Amino acid sequence: MIQAEATARYVRTSAQKAGLVLALIRGKDVNQALATLQFTRKAIAADISKVLRSAIANATNKEGFSGDVDKLFVSACYANQGPSAKRVRPAPMGRAFRVLKRTAHITLHVAERPGKKIAAVGATPGTEAPRPKRARAQKSATTPSKRDTQKAKE
């Protein structure tokens, strides 16, 4: 099983904001993850998309790769806090407010899924097995039914 990783360091966002977007793609196939990132309305999604593409490229260049990118999935992704740049913002009456410009280190791991599952014997492709019917609730011996309560009132 092939595993590859890619890291973007000193990305100009907080690790918490990047973590919110990374949670959306964790465990998904790479094509599905790229589609999710494309339509995510967060600025960091473009940077995470670059890192994911780099991880995919790293996996394809590894020795022993099967050549099928569709088998790759995001096995792990996380954002660690990087160094914060300290800045000063002027405030009234000669004071100053401190501003922290945070950075993050984004890491993505992709891995190759084991072989695809083989369909059951006799099943035709494109058809699904029928769903089982719902089980009906059993009447409880301790709880009286509506009919019993009406007879008791008469």
Q: Which domains does the chain have, with CATH numbers?
A: 3-112 (3.90.470.10)
**pLDDT tier at 124 (50, 70, 90 boundaries)?**
low
Interval 75-108: pLDDT, tens? 999 999 999 999 999 999 999 999 999 999 999 9
**Do residues 71 and 112 lie in contact, with contact meaning Cβ atoms separated by under 8 Å?**
yes
pTM beyond 0.75, yes or no: no
User: Mean pLDDT across the chain, nearest whole number?
Assistant: 87
Tokens of 143: 């709880």
Among the listed residues 8, 37, 32, 38, the one whose alpha carbon sits nearest the alpha carbon of residue 113: 32
